[in-house]
Structure 1
Amino acid sequence: MRAVVVEQYAPIDQIGLKEIAVPEPAPGQIRVRVQAASIGFVDGLKVEGRYQTKDPLPFTPGAEFAGVVDAVAGNVAGITQGMRVMGAARSGALAEYIIVPPEAVEVMPDALSMEAGAAFRTNYLTALYALGERGRLRAGEQLLVLGAAGGTGVAAIQIGKLLGARVIAAASTDEKREFARSFGADAVVDYTKSDWRDALKEATGGHGPDVIFDPVGGEVSVQAFRSIAWNGRHVVVGFAAGSIPALPFNLPLLKGGLLIGVDVAQIARREPDAQTRVMAQLSAWLNDGRLVPVVGKVFSLEDFRAAFTTMQTRAALGKMVVRIAE
């Protein structure tokens, strides 16, 4: 089978597409013929060996995928050959086949495309868990979404609207701000401007955001917290800007604010009931048509490097998807 293989940690332009053996599932595992996989900032960091944990070499990057169950080993119940599934794994998705335990996948709604399935699970699980379970976002509150045109950002806009919030989207270009508006943002601000907090204050009617959804990090995160409403909740989901901010401890005191961390990779293990609730709500929204996942640009497997480059240069609108097979 064809697979992207990282033999040494390196920039993506030094990573190759190779022919390797089709893996066989062991007892308690399934094999999925991958039709689409999506990539995010974590995947780019892992390829270069810059993530907080390193995948043993050699490895195939890519955590999220959608495809068709191709083989089922013994000791597996509830999964059969031919099922359309979407899932997430530590790595291995940028290949024609992937081996995973059955709990790593969800059966896909019939109306969902493979590309949408590959871009859906982590972004929307993160957004709803962060805003609903941790941020306790309520109808009528004001939500600020940083990095609003990225994969998790646009998911947070959609989820925020479904939860009844007024959404202010912060993004760095006119194109990204209009993209955010097209998916429901009520107002937009340009956080690259020195006076962007004044624009945010105006957009919230002087109130400040009740909840901040933050996949960006860097200095903009500290400035956003300075604008938070009394008893506001700042939910940290990532550091796409590439730097981890240091928050002065007097700010939570002065604002009565909460700084909340979300690591989607740990939810299933640490809070399985929360994951079940969130996925059930997402599935209900998908099935009744209230939620339509956003797919960014789609690349062929041969062009996987371009997908990474688009994501890493922050030129992406939505989440980048690699089509593995038709």
Structure 2
Amino acid sequence: MSLPPTMRAITISGYGSPDVLTESTLPTPTLSNSDTSRLQSAPRRHGCRRLAPDPNAVLGIDYAGTVVEVGSAVKGIKVGDRVYGKTAGIKGFGTYAEYVKVSTVADVVVKRPEGVSAQQAAGVGVCALTAYVGLVTYGGLSLKVEENKGKEVLVNGASGGVGLFAVQIAKILGAKVVAVASGKNKDFVTKTLGADEFVDYTVKPLKDQLTTNNQFDVFYDAVGMDEGKNWDLAQTILKPGGLFAASAPASHGPVSVGALVGMVGTIAWRAISSSRKYKFITSLPVDQFPNVAKWIEEGKVKLFTTVELPLSDVKKAHELSASGRTVGKIVLIP
């Protein structure tokens, strides 16, 4: 297949509001002699909230699409395969583009099951793996269902991109799930995702609704960026030795040296001052994804895309994401 020499992509001119995002024309990625374990796909993609490493980088980590070229050493993937996954990092060239080059070694590259659309698959990689790492990799739940009998998991932000996966994974692994979200999303969280109990955070503060001491084995904060109130609540409702896992570290204001120092100090203090374990997701190892992919293929994990926007509407997509009010995933389509 002959690829066009250039492609549409979204670049970032600096840090700031969505206004720094610009549609640009860039050279189409090509395979070199050293790219023997890489492939190209023409993807649809979604980006969870992540920072670009450098100005003028192409944003985006998740993708879904069709393979149009493979390296000579690639095994199990061929031209024409429908794939999805996530890159190991942006490295200047993310997935907000018509074409992307990914590695079958360093990135997540999984064949898309029948019945799963590209739009659905494009929102899986980062958020599903974030949920899995927080629940399983960090030791809150075991992959052996029988070992999770009687365990209870609280998922804060259950209707969001990470939370919807956390609820489903915890249920697959046999735990009881109490889900926190806005009351308008109750049916989605309980009837569709399968949460056992529901807490509406808009009614009154969580500390006034969750009052049972030592109730939970895991407190998964899929909202993240809390200023301490959820961690303080965990000291009461989380069992000693229980796991508090967050999709992002405690917030200390806008990005700055002072905020970074404050974050490090908070992490250190939480590590030594409580009998509860504190973890936030610092990395997403690609070797942890196969279990999630298997559950998706088996239909145990349901996929949801609620907003589909053309690539040119990337600013609107980021504004929606920043609002924290969307249910499920936001996907950009080239």
Q: What's the TM-score bracket when you normalise by the shorter of the two chains?
A: 0.7 to 0.9
Listed one character per residue, the Cα deviations across residues 235-291 of structure 1 (whole Å, up to 9, x for unaligned) are 23214967559379589766x3222343333x24xxx4xx2xxx3332332222222
| Between 97-106 and 62-71, the greater mean CA deviation after superposition | 97-106
- Taking only the aligned residue pairs, the percentage that are identical comes to 26
AA aligned to 1:211 is V
Partner of 1:40: 48
Partner of 1:217: 225
Partner of 1:25: 31
Match of 1:87 among 85, 88, 96: 85
| Between 134-143 and 308-317, the greater mean CA deviation after superposition | 134-143
AA aligned to 2:48 is G
- Report the 3-state secondary structure (helix = DSSP H, G, I; strand = E; otherwise coil) of the residue aligned with 1:232: strand
Q: Is the 8 A contact 2:48 2:127 kept in 1?
A: no
CA distance in 2, matches of 1:33, 1:106: 14
Post-superposition offset of 1:161: 1.0
AA aligned to 1:101 is S
CA distance in 2, matches of 1:307, 1:159: 26
Partner of 2:59: 61
AA aligned to 1:106 is V
Partner of 2:290: 280
- Report the 3-state secondary structure (helix = DSSP H, G, I; strand = E; otherwise coil) of the residue aligned with 2:266: coil
Post-superposition offset of 1:14: 3.6
- Report the 3-state secondary structure (helix = DSSP H, G, I; strand = E; otherwise coil) of the residue aligned with 1:38: coil
CA distance in 2, matches of 1:8, 1:289: 40
Q: Is the 8 A contact 2:183 2:202 kept in 1?
A: no
Partner of 1:51: none
CA distance in 2, matches of 1:21, 1:250: 47
Q: Is the 8 A contact 2:140 2:242 kept in 1?
A: no
Match of 1:135 among 132, 139, 151: 139
Question: Which structure has more helix as a fraction of its residues?
Answer: 1
Residue pairs, 1:215-254, within 5 angstroms? 215=222, 216-218=224-226, 219-226=228-235, 227-239=237-249, 246=266, 249=269
Post-superposition offset of 1:311: 0.3
- Report the 3-state secondary structure (helix = DSSP H, G, I; strand = E; otherwise coil) of the residue aligned with 1:188: strand
Partner of 1:98: 100
**Unmatched tracts of structure 1, length 5 or more:** 47-53
Q: Is the 8 A contact 2:74 2:104 kept in 1?
A: yes
Partner of 2:259: none
Superposed CA RMSD: 2.6
Match of 2:322 among 302, 306, 312: 312
Alignment TM-score, normalising by the size of structure 2: 0.80
Q: Is the 8 A contact 2:45 2:64 kept in 1?
A: yes
CA distance in 2, matches of 1:284, 1:302: 33
Partner of 1:259: 278
CA distance in 1, matches of 2:64, 2:308: 14
**Unmatched tracts of structure 2, length 5 or more:** 1-6, 142-147, 254-262
Post-superposition offset of 1:309: 0.5
| Between 74-83 and 61-70, the greater mean CA deviation after superposition | 74-83
1:152 aligns with 2:162: yes
CA distance in 1, matches of 2:310, 2:127: 21
Distance change >3 Å, CA 179–CA 3, structure 1 → 2 = same
Q: Is the 8 A contact 1:297 1:320 kept in 2?
A: yes
Distance change >3 Å, CA 250–CA 289, structure 1 → 2 = closer
Listed one character per residue, the Cα deviations across residues 42-69 of structure 1 (whole Å, up to 9, x for unaligned) are 1xx43xxxxxxx23x3211010000011
CA distance in 2, matches of 1:37, 1:294: 14
Distance change >3 Å, CA 157–CA 76, structure 1 → 2 = same
Residue pairs, 1:174-213, within 5 angstroms? 174-181=183-190, 182-191=192-201, 195-201=205-211, 206-213=213-220
Partner of 2:18: 12
Distance change >3 Å, CA 12–CA 229, structure 1 → 2 = same
Partner of 1:161: 171
CA distance in 2, matches of 1:116, 1:75: 29
CA distance in 1, matches of 2:250, 2:47: 13
- Report the 3-state secondary structure (helix = DSSP H, G, I; strand = E; otherwise coil) of the residue aligned with 1:298: strand
Q: Is the 8 A contact 1:222 1:246 kept in 2?
A: no
Listed one character per residue, the Cα deviations across residues 86-124 of structure 1 (whole Å, up to 9, x for unaligned) are 121223111000012223212222222111211112222
CA distance in 1, matches of 2:250, 2:71: 38
CA distance in 1, matches of 2:189, 2:278: 24
